[in-house]
């Protein structure tokens, strides 16, 4: 399975066009969007982005971010092969993808979750085994993936979940400066960097082997 991972599109249609083209170039099987689809926008803005990316015909798994409106936590687009994973899970190619949207940290943005809210969503994903892939806007706290260059802005609850459940892979965003491939225990964490600035990641997943590469769109 080949995943094209992006996040932090922030409403840039030109970035969405690049994502669509890149998916074809690399032969992706699935596109994962780890939040901040819009820049302080709602469903109509998100739909424009997802429609552009959907030109590939590939399935899209997404969560919303802190710069997306709260409506996007539960919004499911119609007539697109795009699936909101917040609080939900879906099987693809023998793996279970589960998601949690919204942002960690206090920035005065649209959708910011408290740690107990993260915990309540994550409870539903326990016991999913070593074929679990977590799609989250907020990275785990205290890692390279959540470091802005000044501070760590990730979620403690998400870190605790990863340490206890040990998912195979975590696809994250949120911290634009935290573009990285790193590990937390046995779990691989990928922050592809902001797609609005031309960044993405390609992730090959086969059995329990995960091979990610940070790339340009």
In Å, how far are 85, 188, 214 from 204, measured between CA atoms? Answer: 20, 12, 12
> pTM of the prediction?
0.98
Top-level class of domain 2-216: alpha beta
Instruction: Give the chain's largest Cα–Cα span.
Output: 42
Tens-digit pLDDT profile for the chain (217 aa)? 999 999 999 999 999 999 999 999 999 999 999 999 999 999 999 999 999 999 999 999 999 999 999 999 999 999 999 999 999 999 999 999 999 999 999 999 999 999 999 999 999 998 877 799 999 999 999 999 999 999 999 999 999 999 999 999 999 999 999 999 999 999 999 999 999 999 999 999 999 899 999 999 9
pLDDT at 17: 98
- The pLDDT assigned to 132 comes to 97
* Those residues with Cβ within 8 angstroms of residue 89's Cβ, 6 or more apart along the chain or in another chain: 96, 97, 98, 99, 124, 125, 128
Domain edges within the chain? 2-216
């Amino acid at each position: 399975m080949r995943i094209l991972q992006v996040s932090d599109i922030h409403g840039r249609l030109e970035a969405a066009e690049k994502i669509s083209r890149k998916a074809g170039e690399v032969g992706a099987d699935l596109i994962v969007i780890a939040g901040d689809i819009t820049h302080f926008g709602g469903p109509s803005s998100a739909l424009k982005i997802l429609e552009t990316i959907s030109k590939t015909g590939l399935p899209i798994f997404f969560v919303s971010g802190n710069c997306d409106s709260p409506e996007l936590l539960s919004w499911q687009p119609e007539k697109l092969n795009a699936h909101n994973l917040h609080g939900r899970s879906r099987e693809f190619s023998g793996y279970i993808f589960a998601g949690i949207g919204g942002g960690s940290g206090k920035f005065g943005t649209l959708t910011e979750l408290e740690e107990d809210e993260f915990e309540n969503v994550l409870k539903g994903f326990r016991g999913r085994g070593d074929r679990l892939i977590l799609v989250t806007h907020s990275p785990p706290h205290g890692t390279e993936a959540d470091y802005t260059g000044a501070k760590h802005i990730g979620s403690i609850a998400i870190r605790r979940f990863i340490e206890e459940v040990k998912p195979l892979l975590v696809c994250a965003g949120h911290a634009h400066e935290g573009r990285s491939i790193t590990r937390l225990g046995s779990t691989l964490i990928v922050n592809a960097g902001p797609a609005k600035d031309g960044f993405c990641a390609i992730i090959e997943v086969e059995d329990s082997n995960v091979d990610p590469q940070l790339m340009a769109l």
